Amino acid sequence: MDISNYNVKDTTKCECGLEFNIHDIDGLKTIDNHGFFSNIARTCSQIRCPKCKKETVLLLRQKGQTWQILGIATKIEKKQPMKTENKAQINLSNELVCPICQKACKNKLGLNAHMKTHNK
């Protein structure tokens, strides 16, 4: 799996205080990102915290017949409001582009003045 969107924490404890152990491992996945965690953790397990249900990835290293949890990783939440803001800005800049010659104007007044030059 691709772990680049995850925040790695050097702990085996969940934010809620629960300590993960190897019994929480539920299915193994190979980490695709080269050089991740100094290549020590090549395997992980995507689980939900049994206590707070938060999605967590356990970073694992094989230790003989069993596994050692090196740390955990949690998904980085993408902030939605930022996207809407960007979209609004694009709409605004479109408004300030002359529909006839595509010239960009700094403000609405400038565009209006520019538009008059096409009506001559």
Residues that bind Zn ion (CB under 5 A): 14, 16, 18, 49, 51-52, 98, 100-101, 103
Q: Name which of 51 and 83 has its Cβ closer to Zn ion.
A: 51
Buried b (16+ CB within 10 A) or exposed e, 46-72: bbebeeeeeebbbbbeeeeeebebbbb
Q: What is the nearest approach in angstroms of Zn ion to the Cβ of residue 116?
A: 10
**Amino acid at site 105:** C
- Residue 67's φ and ψ, nearest 5 degrees, are -125, 150
Q: Name which of 96 and 98 has its Cβ closer to Zn ion.
A: 98
- Three-state DSSP class for residue 76: coil
Q: Name which of 42 and 103 has its Cβ closer to Zn ion.
A: 103
Q: What is the nearest approach in angstroms of Zn ion to the Cβ of residue 118?
A: 5
Q: What is the nearest approach in angstroms of Zn ion to the Cβ of residue 47?
A: 10
